[in-house]
Structure 1
Amino acid sequence: MEIASLRPKLVSLRATSFHGENKAVSSGNEPWNIQLTQTIEVGLGAAKDVAAPLQAIVKIDLLAKASKAGAEDQLAEFSGSYEARFDYPATATEAQILPLFEHEPYQYVLVAQAFPLAMTHFRREMQSMGFDARELPLGI
């Protein structure tokens, strides 16, 4: 069971990359088939900051491929990478934290905080490129 004094605090989420390609012309109401692939990695790292020497890191890679229904040659593709960092208290040790990482619910709590933020950015970037991304989920 997690001890409250070892609970990490989300300190940053950053987009490390985004690439999109949407050359299809849309009138706004055409149906699209969207396939979203997500790759999520969770790990423990050492920070350079002495105040918070240990960090949990969540890396999220998103890839969305879409094709217009009835016109499979009209394609759009978007990819984004995100990194969330969680600081542990300065008193936390690696020996205390590593056993927590072995449990899926602990990893899920970290991912559940970072994923909606990454997905919100991903959807907004897709919309800025003329693609309606409201159908994509915000949660995991």
Structure 2
Amino acid sequence: MIWLALGAAILALLVAVGRGRLTARSVSRLAVAALATAAAGGALFEALRAQWIGSVILAGLAIYVGQAARPPAPRGAAPPQRHGMSPAEARAILGVDEAATVDDIKAAYTRLMKRVHPDAGGAPGLAAQLNAARATLLG
């Protein structure tokens, strides 16, 4: 079973390399992740053999090396959070033009909300965008 999983991982790696999706950085991160996985497997094997000291050491190594495989957190200040949307964005979401009346905005909102409401099988995020667009245009 382990050989089947190893073969599938190698095949997936070769397919990704062939498609040009892997960079040198992503390959090195994959290698570090594979090393962490091997250390975790060794820790499990040692634990099954009741070799607790070796198991704890390998588990610690797996955690330490696994942290190195994670992408680094972005440095500096967080990007500014947007609160609300512009009227142009709201009109684009509702599909109305600048000369739209209040009745046109309400009709577009109702028509779209019937399609994307979560109770009708739609997505909550789309319904929230429609609500925000209506609130932006109607005040």
Q: What TM-score results when the alignment is normalised by the length of structure 2?
A: 0.21
Tell which structure's C-alpha radius of gyration is larger. 2
Larger relative strand fraction? 1
Instruction: Compare the two structures and name the one with the higher helix fraction.
Output: 2
Relative contact order: is structure 1 or structure 2 higher (C-alpha 8 Å, sep ≥ 6)? Answer: 1
